[in-house]
Structure 1
Amino acid sequence: MNERIAIVTGASSGIGKATAIALAQKGFDVGIGFNSNAEGARQVAAEVEAHGVRALAFRMDLTDPRAAAEAVERAASELGGVDVFVNNAGVNRRASFLEETPEDWQRILTINTTGPFLCAQVAARRMVAQGRGGRIVNVTSVHELVPIRGGSSYCASKGGLGLLTKVMALELAPYGITVNAVSPGETATPMNGVPESRDAAELSRPAIPIGRPGRAREVAALIAHLAEPDAAYITGVTLPVDGGLLLMSAIANQEYAGRQ
């Protein structure tokens, strides 16, 4: 990990933006993958470069997984390699199981699972060829671990990416490549309807033990830590960043058991 080149997908806003900036602060050159928000990507690139490192904004569209993987390959070539790859781009969806359509089901799995699989495969192959190890972080969701009503396609896509993370970690460990998943709970981002100017502390969430949504930079801080040499012994795990949200399912189970 002496080289410092990172690529982050979905980096024009939200968690991806915060991750790109966090990695730049640690001295990484950063590839900034985006789909439609070119202006946002340009602004992120300027913030990355303000830390004295290189930035490369590049377009990728996960609805075409092969083309997205090729875009990652081109970005890695232009940057001179890749040492950290963050699979952050994805989409959310809610539809009841009885009403979900095959077309929408396939779209969510294509964007959230197949696209990240092919992009990570490109990054991993380059890391192996470089011979200096690497880090791969897949951004999933707490709904990789627990279901939500209306989340049949979303939960399946994130659950699949979570288990793929473990297979990747197992197979890539001999090459010095660690692979982990970071699973955010509710996070205050533009994708979730919260403008960047509004702090998460302004939003009350009584169902979350911490009492608020997460900040994008709080998720990014964990991702950036996983890129560091001190995280070399962490691989094949899912690390929630959820303000204690997952604890609530345990409390509910305890309460239910107490009534039996």
Structure 2
Amino acid sequence: MTDFHVEGRRPTAAVVTGAASGIGRATAVWLAAAGMDVGITWHTDEKGAQDTAAEVRAHGRQAPVARLDLTELPEAAGVIDHLADELGRIDVLVNNAGTGTATPFLDIDLATVRQVLDVDLVGPFLCSQHAARRMITQGNGGRIVNVTSVHEHQPRVGAAPYCAAKGGLGLLTQVMALELAEYGITVNSVAPGEIATPMTGQEDEDVRRTSRPGVPLGRPGDAREVAAVIAFLAGEGASYVTGASWAVDGGMLRMGPMAGSHLADHGWRRP
């Protein structure tokens, strides 16, 4: 019978991919406020990554920065080891870097399909391997959080490779949770709905002033609301939580993401 590892060390070092803005930046800052040093990756926005690093350092924490292009696999995943070396260890990996499309299934080309699958699925797979191997060597367990989407659970027209990748990442999360549990490593996914970030064309706006009639809470989410859930899963309080998908969507999944983001009035609220 396997001797299961019970971790006994507070997480002190994290890596957050795609942390130049949006959910990644909010998560990096939240983890820093919780007392973690945070490695930060960026793809095209180096200035954004440096701005994130400055916010992390303002909390008195280390913030090494590295470029990560998940279309350059498998070599790109070595960035996890590079940042872990700079931090001295890695206790938490947040796979947040991602991309998407808005192209009909019949029109999308193979190169785009492969790009989306590499960035949103194969990249997190390989980055998690690097992180998990180091966590096992360290011997104190760890946390891996995969940022998926409501489209981990529900489809969207025009997003075939994105939905395939996010759905795959959700099921990969469950397999990883089963296989890594004996090492004290928990693995969960966080599935955001519409969040005010650069990816959705919304940055630093007051989400309370934006109406979304088809979302039960009536508005988009703020990146910090997603970061709060990620930080919980990365912390000591979630030590018995693994293999789960946490929707942070204002109730959108209860409506279906197509309806939730596209309904123009509140008529659905009345029988």
**TM-score normalised by the shorter chain: which range applies?**
over 0.9
Work out whether 1:89 is the aligned partner of 2:81: no
Q: What is the aligned partner in structure 1 of residue 249 from structure 2?
A: 242
* TM-score of the superposed pair, with normalisation by structure 2: 0.90
Q: What is the aligned partner in structure 2 of residue 213 from structure 1?
A: 220
Q: Which runs of 5+ in 2 are unaligned?
A: 1-8, 260-271
Map 1:1-260 to 2 at 5 A.
Answer: 1-196=9-204, 198-249=205-256
CA displacement, residues 114-149 of structure 1 (integer Å, 9 cap, x when unaligned): 111101110000000100000000000000100011
8 A Cα contact 2:71 2:115, kept in partner: yes
SS at match of 2:171: helix
8 A Cα contact 2:11 2:235, kept in partner: no
Q: Deviation at 1:82?
A: 0.3
C-alpha distance in 1 between matches for 2:97 and 2:11: 24
C-alpha distance in 2 between matches for 1:13 and 1:60: 14
Q: Deviation at 1:3?
A: 4.2
8 A Cα contact 1:94 1:154, kept in partner: no
Q: Deviation at 1:68?
A: 2.0
* TM-score of the superposed pair, with normalisation by structure 1: 0.94
**Number of aligned residue pairs:** 250
CA displacement, residues 209-234 of structure 1 (integer Å, 9 cap, x when unaligned): 11111000000000000111110111
CA displacement, residues 72-124 of structure 1 (integer Å, 9 cap, x when unaligned): 11111111110000000000111111112111111110111011110111000
Q: Which runs of 5+ in 1 are unaligned?
A: 253-260
Which one-letter code corresponds to 1:240 in the other structure?
Answer: A
Q: Give runs of ≥4 in structure 1 deviating > 2 Å.
A: none
C-alpha distance in 1 between matches for 2:16 and 2:218: 29
C-alpha distance in 2 between matches for 1:182 and 1:31: 20
Q: Deviation at 1:239?
A: 0.5
Aligned-residue CA RMSD (Å): 1.2
What's the % identity of the aligned pairs? 56
Question: Which piece of structure 1 moves more, 66-75 or 178-187?
Answer: 66-75
Which one-letter code corresponds to 1:57 in the other structure?
Answer: V
C-alpha distance in 2 between matches for 1:194 and 1:248: 22
Which one-letter code corresponds to 1:125 in the other structure?
Answer: R
8 A Cα contact 1:64 1:115, kept in partner: no
Question: Which piece of structure 1 moves more, 64-73 or 81-90?
Answer: 64-73
8 A Cα contact 1:19 1:217, kept in partner: yes
SS at match of 1:65: coil
8 A Cα contact 1:109 1:153, kept in partner: yes
C-alpha distance in 2 between matches for 1:65 and 1:137: 20
8 A Cα contact 2:27 2:231, kept in partner: yes
SS at match of 2:124: helix
Which one-letter code corresponds to 2:138 in the other structure?
Answer: Q
C-alpha distance in 1 between matches for 2:109 and 2:38: 37
